[in-house]
A and B are shown apart, each in its own frame.
Chain A
Amino acid sequence: MRHTISVIVENKPGVLARVAGLFSRRGFNIESLAVGTTEDPNISRMTIVANGDEQDLEQIIKQLYKLIDTLRVFDIPKDREIQRELVLIKVSMTDQTRKEITEIAELFKAKIADLSEKSMVIEISDEEEKVNNLEKMLQKFGIMELVRTGKIALQKGGTK
């Protein structure tokens, strides 16, 4: 099963290596990883999407807690999750396809971030599923380059 794990860590040098190293040496696969600072500049938040059963998840959370720089770790439940991913997609384009691509982008509430004679860069920030759908829709035009930030997530409601 896929899990979205939030890891709140001290914003110190090497902390990313500690977390990433832990995943690899204990045999847990990271699907995506996004890191950034939080409301407190001394604290960073990592959002990690990883696969594993309940026992794997429990073990990885406990192992993450053992890292001295880790403040808090939690698995965000699917039904309480606000998740976004930012994606840039460079699509090849001709005069004939420009209109259709633009329409698709609009339908997905995506932005046109760049336009040249032969290509267009589409920017979307949305839930993973929508992003995947957009990617699928654009495939036939020819995707030249694509970059995803990895998912970031918060829990809904007033709790921290």
Chain B
Amino acid sequence: MELTGAQALIECLKKEGVDVVFGYPGGTVLPIYDVLYNEKKLRHILTRHEQGAAHAADGYARATGKVGVCLATSGPGATNLITGIANANMDSIPMVAITGQVGTPLLGKDSFQEADITGITMPITKHNYLIKDPEEIPRVIKEAFHIARTGRPGPVVVDIAKDAQMKTLKNFKYPETVDIPSYKPTLVGHPKQINAAVKLIEAAQKPLLYVGGGVIAASAYKELKEFAEKNNIPVTVTLMGKGAFPGDSKLYLGMLGMHGTAYANYAVQDADLLIAVGARFDDRVTGHLPSFAPNAKHIHIDVDPAEIGKNIRIDVPIVGDAKNILKEFLAKVSCKDRHEAWLAQIAEWKKKYPLSYKEGKKIKPQYVIERTYELTKDKKVIIATEVGQHQMWTAQFFTFKKPRTLVTSGGLGTMGYGFPAAIGAQVGCPDAIVIDIAGDGSIQMNIQELTTAVCNRLPVKIFVLNNSFLGMVRQWQEIIYDRRYSSTNLCANPDLVKIAKAFGAEAFRVTKPTEVDRAIKDALKVKDRPVLVDFVVEKEENVFPFVLAGKPLNEMLVD
């Protein structure tokens, strides 16, 4: 079969099972877009900014578990993907970003719309490629998808010179298998390490599972649940681990860390054994590192050996796939101790220090989230968030019970992520109710994607918790900088309802607590276009608990 490089690329994507590409055209991807013009099986979603395409591919990947694909032209197109690629990299999200590059004779000559995208993305990708010869396309695409989805997943950039897209391949054949001698992730845990872990777990009196996004990436929800329940071990999760364990379980402690629950943080500081699964001891989780979990031995399960021992000394490291290892734990661990005293202690903390907020005349942001949960809990719901206070309140007050139901920027903390990611999630899961819980700051960062949602009749809901502030930064300024609200007052916000309507979305504003339920119900009824609800909330509400950066977890501010 004789194909051009561009045709070969599209064939490769289809062979990989890609059904949608989020992208934006331009000079150096014209050959690819020309192939897409007649393409029936591969859907292309035109975003209104390349950053939107990258986040949409990321949101699609998080919601579906498949590799997300985005496409952009060279130079500014490619650099606009950067934030989205870095975001996927920090949260280990499988993504393939395809960029056009100037033709090979123009490479390295500061040509029009030339940017060294493989050079730029080196530190923010799992791997990247520059293709100058069309014959390389099938092998590289095969490798790119393999690298993106296996081991610790992550983004891979494939930069394709324009002439390589236009030239013909002699014999197009998509490889069946991948052979990268230098890339063989360890998936099975070392038996000696597993046995050592089993002994520690069985001997522990106050064990605690500390669970991160790795459990979701490894599809180990079932194994984790069974293991924790069988051995009566409580579970705390990171932001990325939300949904990895049922949020309504008795064993569930919620999130730990900077804005974690008091009881999760107390449990961490008191535990005698911490079993970290697919989590990476991030600074937002540990607080002051030397005083993190001071009484605990540590077992660390991770598919990425570089995470083990990076931040904290580990007693029993196990490199491998979380699903495999939890399966082994399930078979081998049988705790005689039911940890009753430990669980009773935790229950007491839960009772004494629950998550709470004070009701007032104005709408409390936490209340909107609680009501959103209550009114959608029997339905298939995916929550996306932007970054800031609303994100932390979502983590605290929405009960996540299943994996892949929270789409949020954890590691990079990207404002403007949530809405395009929600679009990606909605494309990947057309049956789900997808809600982007946003702040008034974040939503303005990628609001142009309303057009994308309107054009594609995507009924994404945007719940803006509008406090006319960059709330999280304002909170830090209030507590640490003596209320000097430098550049955080967004009093000149536009009318978001009018803006949404101008884009062709449904939109309304809510100002009273009594109107909240009605507004949520009305929003859920909209099925053929996006809907923005502008919840005008209490302006200076704070997120508590709050462990100041660099402080030990048990020294938290609770109000």
Do residues A71 and B122 form an inter-chain contact, with CB atoms below 8 A?
no
Given known contacts A59-B306, A65-B306, is B182 in contact with A21 (CB within 8 Å)? no
Complex Cα distance A65/B119, Å? 19
Q: Enumerate chain B interface residues (CB-CB to A < 8 A).
A: 118-119, 122-123, 126-127, 130, 147, 180-183, 304-306, 308-310
Neighbouring A residues of B122 by C-beta, 8 Å: 14, 17-18, 21
A: number of interface residues (CB 8 Å): 19
Which residues of chain A in 1-27 are interfacial with respect to chain B, using CB atoms and an 8 Å cutoff? 9-10, 13-14, 17-18, 21, 25
Query: Number of contacts between A and B (CB, 8 Å)?
Result: 36
Shortest distance from the beta carbon of A120 to any chain B beta carbon, whole Å: 40
- Additional pairs, 16, CB under 8 Å, beyond known A14-B119, A62-B305, A62-B306: A13-B130, A14-B118, A14-B122, A14-B130, A17-B119, A58-B309, A59-B310, A62-B308, A63-B306, A65-B305, A66-B304, A66-B306, A68-B126, A68-B180, A69-B182, A71-B182
Question: Which chain B residue shows the least CB distance to A64?
Answer: B306
**A10 interface neighbour in B182, B308, B309, Cβ under 8 Å:** B182
The answer to whether A116 has its CB under 8 Å from any CB of chain B is: no
Q: Which residue of A lies closest to B307 (CB)?
A: A62
B309 in contact with A68 (CB, 8 Å): no
The minimal Cβ–Cβ distance linking B326 to chain A, given in whole angstroms, is 23
22 A-B contact pairs sorted by A residue (CB < 8 Å): A9-B182, A10-B182, A14-B118, A14-B119, A14-B122, A14-B130, A17-B119, A18-B122, A55-B309, A58-B309, A59-B306, A62-B305, A63-B306, A65-B305, A65-B306, A66-B304, A66-B306, A68-B126, A68-B127, A68-B183, A70-B182, A71-B181
CA distance A85 to B165 in the complex (A): 45
Q: Once the chains bind, are A68 and B306 in contact (CB under 8 Å)?
A: no
User: Which residues on the A side are within 8 Å of B147 (C-beta)?
Assistant: 68
Cβ–Cβ < 8 Å partners of B183 in chain A? 68
Q: Give the most central of A9, A55, A66: most B CB within 10 Å.
A: A66
Residues of chain B within 8 A of A58, CB atoms compared: 309
Q: How many whole Å from A86's CB to the nearest CB in chain B?
A: 29
When C-beta atoms are compared, the residue in chain B nearest to A10 turns out to be B182
A109 CB, nearest partner CB in chain B, Å: 39
| Docked complex Cα distance between A59 and B183 (Å) | 18
Q: Name, among B126, B180, B181, B182, the residue most crowded by chain A CB atoms within 10 Å (CB to CB).
A: B182
Please give, as numbers and ranges, the residues of chain A lying within 8 Å of B126 by CB-CB distance: 68
- A20 → chain B closest CB, angstroms: 10
Q: Tell me how far the C-beta of A38 lies from the nearest C-beta in chain B, rounded to whole angstroms.
A: 14
CA distance A65 to B183 in the complex (A): 9
Instruction: State how many angstroms separate the Cβ of B56 from the closest Cβ of chain A.
Output: 26
Q: Contacts of A59 on B, CB cut-off 8 Å?
A: 306, 309-310
A25 to B89, CA, bound (A): 15
Q: Mark A53-86, 1 if CB is under 8 A from B, else 0.
A: 0010011001101101111000000000000000
Q: Give chain B residues whose Cβ lies under 8 Å from the Cβ of A65.
A: 305-306
- Distance between A51 CB and nearest chain B CB, rounded to angstroms: 19
Closest 5 CB pairs of A and B: A62-B306, A68-B127, A71-B182, A68-B183, A62-B305
Task: Give A40 Cβ to nearest chain B Cβ, in Å.
Answer: 11
User: Complex Cα distance A61/B304, Å?
Assistant: 13
Partner of A25, one of B123, B130, B308, B310: B123
A13 to B107, CA, bound (A): 14
Residues of chain B contacted by A17 (CB below 8 angstroms): 119, 122
Shortest beta-carbon distance from B186 to chain A in Å: 10
Contact B305 A21 (CB under 8 A): no
B73 CB, min distance to chain A CBs, angstroms = 22
Chain B residues in 8 Å Cβ range of A70? 182
Chain B residues, Cβ within 8 Å of A66 = 304, 306
